[in-house]
Amino acid sequence: MISHHPDIDLLLEYSAGGSPFPLAMLLHMHLQYCSACRHSLRKLEIIGGEFFGASPEGQIDPVDEHAFDRVMALIEAEETADLEVGTAGVEHTYFRKNFPQSYGAGNTVSSLALEKLLPKRFSTIDWKRKWLGVFEHVIATGGDKPSSDNGADESLRWKLALQRTRKGCSAPKHVHSNCEYTVVLQGGYSDAGGVYREGDFVVRTPDSAHRPRAMEDQDCICLSYIQGKIGLFNPLSGPLTRFRQRLS
């Protein structure tokens, strides 16, 4: 059962096609697993379509007293639909068969786009070791354009990566200068904030230190969108030179 979900603001931005592409990829992946969030997204699309679709100016018509009733009727109809996910497909590790290719009326992210960017199977990934028992496969990076004469604004840097932690192993304790978004694809992990399993969508805010530890029974594999830089902690004296470790 999925216990951790994106908040409504993230889903609203996604449904309108306004999410940054790496974040949209993670949301799309979470939606593959989570019927509750697919249902919430559909509600947002219904409400947006009813209130904003008919007006060229995108304004709600104050004299349309039946709009609310129409929206509620559409939502109730959606609630009777079968929202369960199919079984895992045999052609790609990440995706479920008999499942919609895209979500969100304004969104350009689709399963096809993900299939082109992500390795087909976990076993074929060229993992790079980052720590004892911790490996990474970087998919994309960005945010390196100079923001001033002093060079790039490193708070805008980001990377999209698959991360693998061997069962029972831990990543070093670290803190982020910006947000980190994660979807668990295989296995699970825990930290001081909770326990996260397949399909969970996890957000770490700036200066939220944690030390993820994979479950004992299976390697944990996640898709992560990491903004800004990462700072490691010295187990004896606390933070090292903060955010010294860059994303590159």
Question: With left for phi above 0 and alpha for psi between -120 and 50, is residue 201 left, alpha or beta?
Answer: beta
Q: How many CA atoms lie within 13 A of 43 on its CB side?
A: 14
How do residues 124-164 score in pLDDT, each as one tens digit? 888 999 999 999 999 989 886 544 555 556 667 899 999 99
User: Mean pLDDT across the chain, nearest whole number?
Assistant: 75
Q: Output the pLDDT for position 246.
A: 43
**Residue keyed to tokens 């960017």:** 117
Residue 82 has pLDDT above 50, yes or no: no
Q: Output the pLDDT for position 229.
A: 86
Domains of the chain from N-terminus onward? 8-117 (no CATH), 122-239 (2.60.120.10)
Rg over alpha carbons for the chain, rounded to the nearest Å, is: 20
* CA dihedral over 111, 206, 125, 244, signed as positive or negative: positive
Residue 91 has pLDDT above 90, yes or no: no
Q: Output the pLDDT for position 214.
A: 97
Residue 99 has pLDDT above 90, yes or no: no
Residue 244 has pLDDT above 60, yes or no: no
How do residues 10-67 score in pLDDT, each as one tens digit? 998 888 888 888 998 899 889 888 989 988 988 888 776 655 555 455 454 544 555 4
Phi and psi at 52, nearest 5°, equal -115, -20
- Give Cβ neighbours of residue 108 (< 8 Å, ≥ 6 apart): 17, 24
Q: Output the pLDDT for position 158.
A: 92
